Amino acid sequence: MPKLLVTGSSGLIGSEVVIHFAQNGWTVHGVDNNQRAVFFGPQGDTRWNQQRLKDCLGAAFAHHELDIRDRAGVLNLITSVRPDAVVHTAAQPSHDRAAAIPFDDFDVNAVGTLNMLEACRQACPDAPFVHLSTNKVYGDRPNTIALKELETRWEYDDPAYVNGIDENFSIDQSKHSLFGASKVAGDVMVQEYGRYFGMPTCCLRGGCLTGPNHAGVELHGFLSYLIRCNLEGREYKVFGYKGKQVRDNIHSHDVACFIEHFITNPRVAEVYNIGGGRANSVSILEAFALVEGYTGRKQVYSYTDENRIGDHICYISNLAKMREHYPAWDITLSLDETIRQIVASHQSRI
């Protein structure tokens, strides 16, 4: 029976990957120490998701309470397990929070990733290594693309980007936020372990990854947090760009499915922009309307005419490279279905 090791296993993508592979006959080892609660407080706590995995998967899932900054602990675990594949999702995920905790942010996102890579090189160098990177590695350079303002969203006004931003877009000479910079370091290191050592690695530069098991908070998890605010009658704060900033949202299930395709047919030092693409893109104003249609509740929000540092005005992932390399994979869950599932999940917890 093949073995998979997943870091950040209690998080949104980590837990989706755990369940997906466990249900397909893998023994899954999860690594998580609930750092999300440390970063974001009680609202970011993921222990409930850890317990959910134990309850529904039983012996197919083994939890390891380990901080990826613990270099010796990481090496010992990977040497002991010797996984057939590794999915690295653990991270400090907020560019706002990073400014307050720069050393923690870099130690988790950059050094923690290096700890994982070197341990894998020593213990299981042939195991596919999938790293959850971020579109924030492009910094604010996407904001240099010509845009046009529509009634409810900003839109690209350059035909070269009609299908979104591809992997050849520059990550250099732009403002990233400290979070974006630490993720660049991890992203480039994952590529380098592929190119330099020939390891089968890939970086998934995610847009808005979401789903019903997302513990969304104000500083991270746009769609999940927006829906939570709607259902609880809590004020949602919109930061700049008239609320017309656009994100492409991909359901965590479709992310897990792509990871399976890569692990089954791995490549060396690949990079993919993974998101919902144009079909699953939405602005904040458009998201308000969609969510209100499912909840029947008017969105309460305030607006400040000051955008977050390094925030994208419009970001849509170009999925052409993913579809070319793995033609059996595609988006299966629409934006509407994703919102419906998140609403139902939050309603079940209220």
For residue 41, what pLDDT is reported?
A: 85
| pLDDT tens profile 261-312 | 999 999 999 999 999 999 999 999 999 999 999 999 999 999 999 998 778 9
For residue 219, what pLDDT is reported?
A: 63
Q: Which residue range(s) make up the domain with 185?
A: 3-349
| Mean pLDDT value across residues 235-247 | 97
On whether the CB atoms of residues 25 and 68 are closer than 8 A, the answer is no
pLDDT band at 241 (very low <50, low <70, confident <90, very high): very high
Nearest to 129 by CA among 198, 73, 181: 198
For residue 336, what pLDDT is reported?
A: 97
CA 48, distance to chain mean position in Å, is 19
Phi-psi region of 345 (alpha: psi -120 to 50; beta: other; left: phi over 0): alpha
| pLDDT tens profile 159-174 | 999 999 999 999 999 9
Tokens, residue 290 = 């969609």
Nearest to 71 by CA among 29, 114, 19, 133: 114
Q: Give the CATH number of the domain where residue 341 resides.
A: 3.40.50.720
CA-CA-CA-CA torsion sign (57, 344, 256, 41) = negative
Overall domain count for the chain: 1
Average pLDDT over the chain reads 95
For residue 88, what pLDDT is reported?
A: 98
The pTM of the full predicted model, rounded to 2 decimals, is 0.96
Q: In this structure, what are the phi and psi dihedrals at residue 269, rounded to the nearest 5 degrees?
A: 55, 45
CA pair distance 17, 23, nearest whole angstrom? 10
For residue 114, what pLDDT is reported?
A: 98
| pLDDT tens profile 43-92 | 889 998 999 999 999 999 999 999 999 999 999 999 999 999 999 999 99
For residue 42, what pLDDT is reported?
A: 86
**Max CA pair span of the chain:** 56
For residue 93, what pLDDT is reported?
A: 87
